[in-house]
Amino acid sequence: MSPLLDVQRVTKRFGGLVAVKELSFHVEAGEILGLIGPNGSGKSTAMKLIMGIERPNSGRVLLGGQDVAGQPTHRIARQGVGIVFQHSRPLHRQTVLENIKLALLPDSLLRLAADKSVNDRACAIAESVGLGAVMHRRPNTLPFADLRRLELAKAIARDPKVVLVDEPFAGLTAAEVGIFSGLIDGFRREGRAVLLVDHNVKGVAALVDRVLAMYLGERIAEGSAEEVMRDPTVRAVYLGGSIETHARDAAVIDATPVLLEVADVSVLYGKAQALERVSLRVHEGEFVSVVGLNGAGKTTLFNAISGLVRYDGRIEWAGGSLAGRSPAAIARGGIVQCAETRELFGDMSVRENLDLGGQHQPPAESRDRLAWLFELFPILKERARQAARTLSGGEQQMLAIARALMMNPRLLILDEPTLGLAPVILEQLSKALERLRRTTAITVLLGEQNVTFALPHADRVYVLEHARIVWQGDPALFAKEAGAGYL
């Protein structure tokens, strides 16, 4: 008997970029396959190829033995593929029940009215996913978890044979994750094939039958959740390799004043919980690493500290509250963030970008700082007259960090500085950070997925997972506990 979903040697190119390469997997009836991988690994593209949103350059997508690769999305949906989107897309002028009824109606302009059986079926579906008490409300009045339930209800209404579930637990509380897991497990019990896409193994381990790990468009491991978590290639992708730590004496660090204190900070994006009661401390001169997989909440935490997003809770800087201060005032006060997106002025030269960073400094101090940064990043001196957009990715990252340092920060926030960089560039950045740590009084808050880069420079480590701090302590202790716990 053939599997309900069988993806055979599928490849998708976008110009010179190979987003998915010779990818093969299958999902049986009554089985949940977890598809994991960091951002850019090809998970979303794989889902789009199955749903017909993208057309593969080669390969086959078989539904019940029939090749649907390249067919329009609506035709694939009619043949039994449903998708539960990460971001809810309801019709906000209609009630929850009306949204479900619309999904139940046949794809025909000749029949747009629903009879009593459709209404009864919609009510039954609403009850089955926990929406019975709110079925007559409009989506914009619902909490985030109920919006996710509505996406599940709409998928159930189409009676799919194959269900694609995208990032099922993003923005949910621990209790809601348990409830949602039970609902997804209901698909398996009904004999449907489920492809569940997530960033990491740990988030889906208790639910899936098998896991397939992707990286750079290719399959790198497949097996049980435990086997994939132990796989050396998967560990290398998520952890970056062997882990070294060089934390300074904790007693010396703890004796210095607390420069930054984050206490019970929560952030909502709409109804999605991006941070939940996060607390951390950074002492004067300390290097603190916040590690976590993509989507854990690192950037949101840094943006809250920098005044870029609204938050509940308390953030204190050098003994005073940051509440009500503008991002510009916070930056002038000594907190400078080097964003993951770098935010360089591409048509301006390297020197002009650096001069912008130092514009508020006295001229003599700015000149001295520029000379020091050219020693720290010699390649920037060679490229001083070159437009920033013509630099390599690694050189742009060095420029972004150097521009932040031109502002003479007391606290430098580095958000994912290693993202997409070659090993030789990582080594140069690592040496620059170590020099900062050894020769200056600067305080650094580093957010990273790559723990082999983050830990050697850390005096203290915090682990963010699904918007919450789940571990904190000494880097050496983290190194002993890394692996399955982090993945």
DSSP H or E stretch at residue 164: strand 162-166
**Helix 350-357 to helix 363-376 angle, to the nearest 10 degrees?**
130
Instruction: Give residue-wise pLDDT tens across range 192-219.
Output: 999 998 876 776 788 899 999 988 889 9
DSSP annotation of 32: E
Q: How far is CA 169 from the centre of its chain?
A: 12
Beta bridge partners of 194: 32, 163
Fold equal for 5-239 and 250-481? yes
Contact 112, 105 (CB under 8 A): yes
Asked which of 243-247, 277-281, 317-321, 361-365 is least confident by mean pLDDT, the reply is 243-247
CA 162 vs CA 59, 159, 185, 187, 225: distances in Å? 19, 9, 13, 9, 21
Query: CA 84, 38, 179 angle in degrees (round to 5)?
Result: 40
Over residues 71-100, mean pLDDT: 86
pLDDT of 110 over the 50 cut:
no
Over residues 143-150, mean pLDDT: 85
Q: What pLDDT score was predicted for residue 314?
A: 95
Over residues 346-350, mean pLDDT: 88
pLDDT of 458 over the 50 cut:
yes
DSSP H or E stretch at residue 35: strand 31-36
Over residues 347-374, mean pLDDT: 88
Q: What pLDDT score was predicted for residue 1?
A: 64
Q: What pLDDT score was predicted for residue 89?
A: 78
Query: What burial class does residue 438 get, using C-beta atoms within 10 Å of its C-beta: 0-12 exposed, 13-18 middle, 19+ buried?
Result: exposed
pLDDT of 418 over the 50 cut:
yes
Q: How confident is the model at residue 357 (pLDDT cuts 50, 70, 90)?
A: confident
pLDDT of 447 over the 80 cut:
yes
Q: How many CB atoms lie within 10 A of CB 173?
A: 16
DSSP H or E stretch at residue 253: helix 250-254
Half-sphere exposure of 449 (CA within 13 A, CB side): 22
Q: How confident is the model at residue 57 (pLDDT cuts 50, 70, 90)?
A: very high
If one looks up domain 5-239 in CATH, what number appears? Answer: 3.40.50.300
* Averaged pLDDT score across all residues of the chain: 85
Phi-psi bin for 147: left (phi > 0), alpha (psi -120 to 50), beta? alpha
Contacts of 50-57 spanning 24+ positions with Cβ under 8 A: 50/5, 50/7, 50/76, 50/81, 50/162, 50/164, 50/195, 51/76, 51/77, 51/81, 51/83, 51/164, 52/76, 54/12, 56/10, 56/11, 56/12, 56/20, 57/11, 57/12, 57/13
Handedness of CA 466, 472, 475, 477 (dihedral sign): negative
Q: What pLDDT score was predicted for residue 264?
A: 95
Give the best-scoring range by mean pLDDT among 233-242, 272-281, 358-367, 444-453: 272-281
For 428, residues 6+ apart whose C-beta sits below 8 A from its C-beta are: 377, 394, 398
SS (H, E, C) 169-212: CCCCCHHHHHHHHHHHHHHHHCCCEEEEEECCCCCCCCCCCEEE
Phi-psi bin for 130: left (phi > 0), alpha (psi -120 to 50), beta? left
Handedness of CA 258, 263, 268, 272 (dihedral sign): positive
User: How large is the greatest C-alpha to C-alpha distance in the chain, in angstroms?
Assistant: 80
Q: How confident is the model at residue 486 (pLDDT cuts 50, 70, 90)?
A: low
Q: What pLDDT score was predicted for residue 171?
A: 66
The answer to pTM > 0.85 is no
Q: How many CB atoms lie within 10 A of CB 403?
A: 25
Give the best-scoring range by mean pLDDT among 156-170, 250-264, 296-310, 428-442: 296-310
Q: Of 412, 43, 391, 441, give the one whose Cα is nearest residue 220.
A: 43
Over residues 121-139, mean pLDDT: 90
Q: How confident is the model at residue 483 (pLDDT cuts 50, 70, 90)?
A: very low
Instruction: Give residue-wise pLDDT tens across range 159-200.
Output: 889 999 888 877 676 677 788 888 888 889 999 999 998 876
The topology (CATH level 3) of 250-481 is: Rossmann fold (3.40.50)
Domain boundaries of the chain, sorted by first residue: 5-239, 250-481
Counts for the chain of helices (H) and strands (E), in that order:
18, 20
Query: What burial class does residue 445 get, using C-beta atoms within 10 Å of its C-beta: 0-12 exposed, 13-18 middle, 19+ buried?
Result: buried
pLDDT of 272 over the 60 cut:
yes
Q: What pLDDT score was predicted for residue 226?
A: 85
pLDDT of 40 over the 90 cut:
no
Q: Of 95, 101, 97, 104, give the one whose Cα is nearest residue 139.
A: 95
3-state DSSP assignment of residue 142 = coil
Over residues 362-373, mean pLDDT: 88
Phi-psi bin for 267: left (phi > 0), alpha (psi -120 to 50), beta? beta
CA separation for the pair 291, 453 (Å, rounded): 10
Contact 306, 331 (CB under 8 A): yes
Over residues 86-96, mean pLDDT: 82
DSSP secondary structure string for all residues of 210-231: EEEEEETTEEEEEE-HHHHHH-
DSSP secondary structure string for all residues of 290-345: EE--TTSSHHHHHHHHTTSS--EEEEEETTEE-TT--HHHHHHTTEEEE-TT----
